[in-house]
Amino acid sequence: MSSVALVFPGQGSQYRGMCKDIVESVPFAKKIFNQVSEYFEIDLFNSCTNESEENLASTYIAQPSIFIHSIILDKILKNNKIKINAVAGHSLGEYSALVSSGVLSFNDCLKILKIRCKEMQLANINHKGSMLAIINEDIKLIEKICSKFSNTVIANINSYNQIIISGPINEINKSIEMFKNNNIKKIIKLNVSGAFHSPLMEEANLSLNKAINLVNFNDTEIPVYQNISSIKNFKGEEIKNNLSKQLTGSVLWYQTILNMEKDGITDIIEVGPKKILSKLIQKITSNIKVKSIDNLQDLINNGFKIIK
């Protein structure tokens, strides 16, 4: 018997034209775009369809756009009466997971997310940062190189050999040479606008936690796997506490998928733009079947009906 988890992508998965075909085919999708656009005081559908990739990558546009995309698809899956046995999200995607599982209401999530975007964008301006993907399984060596700097840390453990580091641009640039000198050649700069999940986000996290503490976190019957703990959780207060540490903590994605596998998850559906998480999961384990739902054709190909 299958046991299905939904996973939700984070910032960096945005692309020009995302969600356009779904908005044109699903009436409630445009309503969600309009609601979030009004709250964020920006035409997010126009941003998704007409903005340059560079503008779309800005935190204040990318995060709500990805969130909307994921929530619309999640609603379509729920309309198809799909049984969900667990949820998780990568960084920003954790917020989509909390809405999907009922831990946060949609409106309460928007309140937190707007603060998160504003404060992260401000932190990006005040502290110029960057992130690198290091393709190498020697995490001890990566930790050792990060320790040479004051504010550069491991931000994400995405798979056994994909480690993301985050820090000030000057430190990140110096680290590239150090990685190359240690025979690590595959290094990729990420399409993000700051040093997420690093000490450079500490000021942003203070304001974010005030917003988190003002809303209600419900207990859930659907287990939530969070970034900084990676084990299943059902308790709203514990989930709130973990979320309050997420912005400056590491995303333990590799451990999350291994724990899902151990807990009996057999199928994972990635819900949102691109297939970044699906590819990571396939690298982590061959024992879980993975699907990616990004657009209208993906829904049709996987047998889901567009219930209007």
- Tens of pLDDT along 8-36? 999 989 999 999 999 999 999 999 999 99
Which one from 65, 91, 96, 230 is the annotated catalytic residue?
A: 91
Tell me how far apart the alpha carbons of residues 6 and 4 are, in angstroms, rounded to a whole number. Answer: 7
Q: What is the pLDDT of residues 219-266, one digit of tens each?
A: 999 999 999 999 999 999 999 999 999 999 999 999 999 999 999 999
Catalytic residue among 69, 90, 127, 197: 197
Q: For residue 10, which phi and psi values (nearest 5 degrees)?
A: -115, -170
pTM (predicted TM-score): 0.96
Is the Cβ–Cβ distance between 47 and 61 less than 8 Å?
A: yes
The yes-or-no answer on residue 69 being catalytic is: no
Task: Scan for tokens 């976190």, then name that residue.
Answer: 217
For CA atoms 259, 261, 266, 268, the dihedral sign is positive
Q: CA–CA distance from 119 to each of 151, 260, 292 (Å)? A: 18, 32, 31
pLDDT at 245: 97
For each of the domains in the chain, give its residue range(s) and CATH number, in order of start.
Answer: 4-125+198-301 (3.40.366.10), 127-189 (3.30.70.250)
- Bridge-based pairing state of the strands 187-189 and 129-135: antiparallel
Comparing 106-110, 114-118, 303-307, which segment has the lowest mean pLDDT? Answer: 303-307
Mean pLDDT (whole number) for 118-122 = 94
Beta bridge partners of 162: 135, 159
Does 91 qualify as catalytic in the annotation? yes
**Predicted local confidence at residue 211, as pLDDT:** 97
Q: pLDDT tens digits for 268-297? A: 999 999 999 999 999 999 999 999 999 999
Q: Cα separation of 196 and 182, whole Å?
A: 25
pLDDT tens, residue by residue, 76-112: 999 999 999 999 999 999 999 999 999 999 999 999 9
pLDDT at 54 over 90: no
**Mean pLDDT rounded to a whole number for the chain:** 96
Per residue in 189-204, pLDDT (tens digit) is: 887 778 999 999 999 9
Cα 133 to the chain's mean position, in Å? 15
CA–CA separation, 157 and 129 (whole Å): 19
Task: Check pLDDT > 90 for residue 298.
Answer: yes
